[in-house]
């Protein structure tokens, strides 16, 4: 069995991404160079940001990954929306109720989608 424990996102500028994700993740990267930044999150998941111009084979296009963040309640989703929009992230979906729960979506500067959510008590 294979274990998924590492996400690698192609970005235009890893240092710009680090400035944002330092705030979103609340931890400092364990590796930080001009072309690559790596975070190890408290749950053990590794998230790397690699300069798209250095990734081989070159990804087309950079961006387009969705990272989801589970939160404990609707108030936390609303607080996160306020905090993340204050950072200037582009809103793709305002806070809304969907079949699975309460959520919103913003985009980072590379177009990666960020979706915090709380599950509905009885999702379909």
User: Over its length of 124 residues, how does the chain's per-residue pLDDT go in tens digits?
Assistant: 878 899 999 999 999 999 999 999 999 999 999 999 999 999 999 999 999 999 888 877 766 789 999 999 999 999 999 999 999 999 999 999 999 999 999 999 999 999 999 999 865 5
What is the tally of structural domains in the chain?
2
Element (H, E) at 115: strand 113-119
Report DSSP letters for 12-78, one per residue.
S-HHHHHHHHHHHHSS--SEE-SSEEEEE-TTS-EEEEEETTTSSSPPSSS---EEEEE-SSHHHHH
pLDDT at residue number 64: 77
Based on the fold, state whether residues 74 and 42 are members of the same structural domain: no
Does residue 124 lie in a domain region? no
pLDDT at residue number 121: 82
Based on the fold, state whether residues 19 and 45 are members of the same structural domain: yes
The helix/strand count (H/E) of the chain reads as: 2, 8
Q: What is the domain-level CATH number for residue 108?
A: 3.10.180.10
pTM (2 d.p.): 0.87
For residue 45, the enclosing domain spans 6-51
Under a CB-based contact definition with an 8 Å cutoff, are residues 32 and 81 in contact? Answer: no
């Amino acid at each position: 069995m294979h274990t998924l424990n590492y996400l690698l996102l192609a970005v235009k500028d890893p240092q710009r991404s680090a400035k944002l994700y330092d705030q979103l993740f609340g931890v400092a990267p364990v590796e930080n160079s001009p072309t690559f930044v790596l975070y190890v999150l408290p749950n053990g998941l590794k998230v790397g940001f690699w300069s798209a111009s250095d990734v081989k084979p070159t990804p087309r296009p950079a961006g387009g990954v969705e990272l989801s963040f589970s939160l404990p309640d609707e108030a936390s989703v609303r607080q996160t929306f306020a905090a993340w929009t204050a950072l200037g992230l582009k809103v793709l979906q305002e806070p809304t109720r969907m079949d699975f729960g309460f959520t919103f979506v913003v985009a980072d500067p590379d177009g990666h989608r960020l979706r915090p959510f709380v599950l509905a008590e009885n999702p379909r």
